[in-house]
Structure formats: C-alpha cells, structure tokens
A and B are shown apart, each in its own frame.
Chain A
Amino acid sequence: MPLDTSTYSLALLRLDGRRWNELRRLHAQISTQAAADGSSYLEMGNTKVLCTVSGPHEGKAGGAGGGPRSTQAKIEVEISFAGFSGVERKKRQAKDKRTSEMSHTLTQSLAALLLTHLYPHSTITIHLSILSQDGSLLAACINAATLALIDAGIPMTDYLCACTTAAPPTSAETEAGGDPLLDLNGQEEQELPFLTVATVGKGHAVSVLIMESRVRMEKVEGMLAVGVEGCKRVREILDKVVKEHGKRFA
C-alpha cells in the first residue's frame, strides 16, 4: 500500500518523495506539431499525453441537416492509447467503454468551455495520444486539450485545468484524520479512493468532477478543496507555458 510505508508515517513522504500537497513535475509544450491547427505535449510525472486539434472545419455529415447543434460547433474527442503506454501491453480498442467515457467527459466539458456559437455548422476535432500512463490520466488529457485549443486559437473563457486528489488515510496514528493527497501516480490511484476535478479560471468554478471509488462523506469536502487548490497551481504553470510561447512573437 502506498501509504503503509514507514516513511509516510514517520516523515509524511509518499513513495516518490512528495508531501501531501506537492504536484508532480508538470512539463508542457505548446505548438509541437507544425501540421496541426493546434498541438501540445504535456507530462504530469510519467503520464505523457500528446494532443492535436484540427478545426474548426466543415463537419463530416454536411451542414444542411443539422438539428439543434447546427448553431454551434460540434466537438469531437478521440483518444488513442499507444501499445507501450501501460504497464502491460494491452491494445485498447477504440470503442472501449472506459475510453468512451473519458472522451465523453472531455467533449461535454470542452463544449461548455469553448465559445462554440462563434463557429456554427463546423466541427472541432481533438485527438489525444497517450504515450505513457502513470496516474491522473483524465487530468492530463484535460490539461493537454486546453493547451492545444489555445494553440489552435479557438476562443474560450478561461483555462480548464485538472488534477486528482485522494482520500486522506485514517489510521491509529493520525488522529486528526490526515491530509488528502494531491496529484496521484499510478500506484496510488490503484490503491486509494480518488477523484479528478477540473476548474475553469482562477476561482472555484468546478467544471468536471469524477469519482469512481467509495469514500466516506466527510472526506469529500476536504478532497475537493485540495483539488481546487491544485488546479489553481496547474493553471499558473499552463499560463506560464502559453506566455513563454507568446514571447517568441513579441
């Protein structure tokens, strides 16, 4: 168990040497592919995601028949896992349920974030390639998609930044209840109950909240608070990346 180690109970250091509120190394690059309209590469620790955006372009199914969607741009998200990304080599089918769920979450959150009414009858396609998985996959995808959309020049209200948090451990030693952990790696995600949260902007507007494990009600508020703080820090890092890129044109 990631938190059963002696280092955690004595020095409160996780397996990779972080404290409860430390993010992993977040490295991001924008405009990595010349051929795409917008592209980005993001690393959260060992989770590596590549994102390309193409659009807005004419939708595949012709604009004439459009229903309620035709006054807004349609967002399509595709996720592909490289064979070498996980610990075991499993070739994920494109229609895998978990993958569909992830892409659906991304589609919904991005449709709400982007100013889609500016591009009626068109489609924006976002493609994510997962090169390496080590926890916080949905969060990394959300962050990479945000950067790539900014690179493509598609207007949005603010950054959509995501991160993960885990429930604080309760053991005999920690009477106070312990602190929720921020930014989980692969091993921690498998063992601890965790949630992924994404916020828009600097404030507390939560856009995405996904939790699939069981946890006691009292802990959720603490986890959410830590998650929102983490998203603020992610936003600072992403903003710095975008501004550095912009300096080249200054």
Chain B
Amino acid sequence: MATTQSAPTLTFPRPIFAALSPSPFLQAHLAPKNPIRANARAPTEFRKPGLNTGSLTHCNGSAVVRLGNTTVVCGVRAEVLRAEDVPQPIDPKADEEDDVEEIDTLRLLVPNVELSTGSTPTFLPGQAPSTFAQSLITRIRSLLLSTRLVRAKDLRIMYTPPRTTEDEDEEVQPEVKAYWTLYIDTMFISLDGDAFDAAWGAILAALRNTMLPASDWDQDLEMVLCDDDVKKARKLELRGLPVAATFAVFQGEEDEEGEDRSWVLSDPDAFEEGVCRESVTIVVDGKKGSGKIRRIEKSGGTVVGREVMKGLIRRSEERWEEWNAVLKG
C-alpha cells in the first residue's frame, strides 16, 4: 500500500477499493514523491519479456512470449503460391531494397491475431473478431510492410531454365516460379494489457526462428519440390529488429494548486488500460543514440506533447535493448 501522510485506514480491502474507484486508487499510488504503480512497478518500468522459440511441431517457426500475465503464442506456416496462379504477375524489381510492393500485392505475409480464446472475460470464445482484434491485425500488418522486415527474395522460388541456344554470351534469366506465403498466426493465451507489444514481440521472435526448406521448381512435374534435409533449410534474412513499446497516460485529479497531474506509464496492464484514455505506441530499431524510429502512434488525450514524446522515445530505446538481449539469446 502506498503510504501517504494523512491516509485514513481503509475499512474494505484493496481489491474492492480498486474495483469501486479505480482512478483514485491509481492516483493514490502515483501521487507521492516516489510514484509506484498498483502492480508495484515504477512508471518507467517495463515487464521483462520471457521468450521460448521453436516449440510447435507443425510450424516453420514459432515463439511463445510472456509479458507478466500476458501470454502469446505465434506460429509461422509457409505455404507455396504458384506464380501461374497469380492473376497479375509482378516482376521482381532489380532494386532489392524496394520490394514492399511485391509482398503487399501478392499478400505474401498474412498476419492473424486470435483474441477470442477466453484470454480475458471481455473476449469470450466463439465470438466474431472484435474491433480491437481487427485493428490489432491491421496495425501489425502495416508495421510488417512499413518496416520491410521480410525480404521478398527470401520468399521467391526461382528457376533457371536450361540454355536453349548455343550462344555463350546470352545470359539465362532465372524466373520466379512460385512464392512462399507466410501465414503468421498469433493466439492470445492470456491478456493482461499491452496486447500490441506482446503480439509484435512474438511475431518478431517467430519470424527470426522461421526456417524455409530448400525448394526447387521441377520443370517436368511442373511443381515445387522441397528438400526435407534440415541442414539445407535456411533462415529468413530479416531487415533490422523493430521493437514496439506502448505507453498509457494516466490523468489524475487536479491537485491543491489546481494543476493537472498526469503520469505516463510504460507497458500498461489491464487495470491501467481501463483507467487511461490516452495511449502512445512507439516502434524503434537500434540502441540509444543510433536508433531509428519506425512508427509513432498516438491516440486520445492532450497530455503528450513534444517534450514528453522525446522522453518516451528514450524509454523506447531502452526497451529496445531489453528486447534485443532477450531475442539474441
């Protein structure tokens, strides 16, 4: 319990106080000189991510991420899309860095998030995906494309036709015969706030864990043949390591001087998300000083301005170092 100078003894227990008046409950925790949240974290403290990769048998890559009581499972399945089944084939661009259009148009990355698994009482199983789930999927998809995380060349299955002419100088151009489509399925086992960070972290870890089998186009059989030798399988060559950090802004009651009191809480849990009206999500790639901002999303409220945003970006860079340590080993 936070000890304030003139706190009267409560006649009912903490959880009831939290349920009856959540805002004053949280404010009572944050008001003193050393603010502490109801979950005993400092306002700038994130939950340490727990990670386990490669546990699912039928997947090309998988990861289980725990952020406190939020648990997410992500599985990546690769399936073949034949180039002749594509209505409007796309020429692979000469510039390898500019391959987003190929992935976007052919829908080679298909993220999906399943929230209605009984993960929390608000998301009961058997329901249609809620707007929250749908918006989560859209945000993840747009982040996957805008960070250009997956290279199109990793997803192409090429075929070099044999020489038809005797001309030694003529180059034989390899053709794209098929693509790998990655179905990225994320399932929430339990949700205690900060769904986006957990889902993105799991997807990132699963993609880093993904192995695609060595595959060739067989001209006689007219199909893609895959080699089941594990040594020949290759990992995806991802671009960078974008890490997401979400913040919630808690706006308390005015204090004695009539000034607004507000705190920005890192990595909110379900209780804090319930009382906060403003949230910011920042995606950065790189450590302090040399990081690049990949995305800033802000919704609701007027508390976070430029100065506060700078502080949040610094916090996100620190978070990048935490995730980097967890993902790399």
The answer to whether A and B belong to the same complex is yes
Residues of A within 8 A of B (CB): 33-36, 46, 48, 50, 52, 54, 78, 80, 82-87, 89, 94, 125, 127, 129, 131-134
**Contact (Cβ within 8 A) A54 B121:** yes
* A82-B192 CB under 8 A given contacts A46-B57, A127-B117, A132-B57: no
Find residues 176-203 in chain B having any chain A CB closer than 8 Å to their own CB. 183, 185, 187, 189-192
**Contact present for B190 and A83 (CB under 8 Å):** no
Are B73 and A82 neighbours in the complex by a CB distance under 8 Å? yes
Look across to chain B and name the residue whose beta carbon is closest to the beta carbon of A82. Answer: B187
Report if B133 contacts A (CB, 8 A). no
Cα-based distance from A129 to B125 in the complex (angstroms): 10
**A33-B71, A35-B192 known; A78 and B118 CB under 8 Å?**
yes
Does chain A have a CB within 8 A of B23? Answer: no
B77 touches A35 (CB 8 A): no
Residue on A nearest B206 in the bound complex, by CB: A84
- In the bound assembly, the distance between CA atoms of A232 and B88 in angstroms comes to 59
Q: What's the minimum C-beta distance from B271 to chain A, rounded to whole angstroms?
A: 12
Dominant secondary structure of chain A at its interface with chain B? loop
B:185-225 near A, CB below 8 Å: 185, 187, 189-192
A61 to B149, CA, bound (A): 47
In the complex, A131 Cα to B185 Cα: how many Å? 11
List residues of chain B with CB within 8 A of the CB of A84.
56, 58-59, 62, 75-77, 183, 185
* Nearest B residue to A47, CB-CB: B57
A86, B58: Cβ atoms closer than 8 Å: yes
A34 neighbours in B (Cβ, 8 Å): 69, 190
CB <8 Å contact, B190 and A33: yes
Q: Which A residues touch B59, using CB under 8 A?
A: 84
The listed residue with most B CB atoms (<10 A of its CB), out of A78, A86, A134, is: A78
Give the residue of B57, B76, B187, B190 whose beta carbon is less than 8 angstroms from that of A35.
B190
A6 to chain B, nearest CB (A): 21
Determine the distance from Cα of A85 to Cα of B62 in the docked complex, in whole angstroms.
11
Check B324 for interface membership: any CB of A closer than 8 A: no
Query: Counting CB contacts under 8 A, is B79 at the interface?
Result: yes
Q: Is the CB of A129 within 8 A of B187?
A: yes
Whether B112 is near chain A, meaning CB under 8 Å from some CB there, is yes
A35 surroundings in chain B (CB, below 8 A): 69, 119-120, 190-192
A46 to B114 CA separation, bound complex (whole angstroms)? 22
- Closest 8 pairs (CB-CB, A-B): A84-B75, A83-B185, A127-B118, A78-B125, A46-B57, A89-B77, A33-B190, A84-B59
In whole Å, how far is B295's beta carbon from the nearest beta carbon of chain A?
26
**Contact across chains for A78 and B189 when beta carbons are under 8 A apart:** no
B125: chain A residues within 8 A (beta carbon):
78, 80, 127
Known A-B contacts A82-B185, A89-B183; the reply to A54 vs B118 at CB < 8 A is yes
Chain B residues within 8 Å of A89, by CB: 77, 79, 183, 185
State the CA gap A125–B120 with chains docked (Å): 13
Could you tell me the distance between the alpha carbons of A54 and B119 in the complex, rounded to whole angstroms?
11
A36 contacts which chain B residues (CB < 8 A)? 118, 190
Docked pose: A46 CA to B56 CA in angstroms: 8
Chain B residues within an 8 Å CB radius of A78: 118, 125-126
Contact between A134 and B190 (Cβ–Cβ < 8 Å)? no
Give residues of chain B (96-143) contacting chain A, Cβ–Cβ below 8 Å.
112, 114, 116-121, 124-126
Whether A132 contacts B58 by the Cβ 8 Å rule is yes
Q: Cα distance A244–B22 when bound, in Å?
A: 37
Cβ-neighbour of A131 out of B56, B69, B120 (below 8 A): B56
Tell me the complex Cα distance, A133–B79, Å: 18
**Cα(A85)–Cα(B183), bound, Å:** 12
5 extra interface residue pairs, beta carbon distance < 8 Å, beyond A52-B118, A84-B58, A94-B126: A33-B69, A35-B191, A36-B118, A84-B75, A127-B125
Question: In angstroms, how far is the closest chain A Cβ from the Cβ of B24?
Answer: 24
Instruction: Name the contact of B114 in the complex, choosing from A50, A82, A86, A133 (C-beta under 8 A).
Output: A82
Complex-state Cα separation, A46 to B55, whole angstroms: 10
* Alpha-carbon separation in the docked complex, A87 to B77 (Å): 9
Q: How far is the CA of A109 from the CA of B286 in the complex (A)?
A: 54
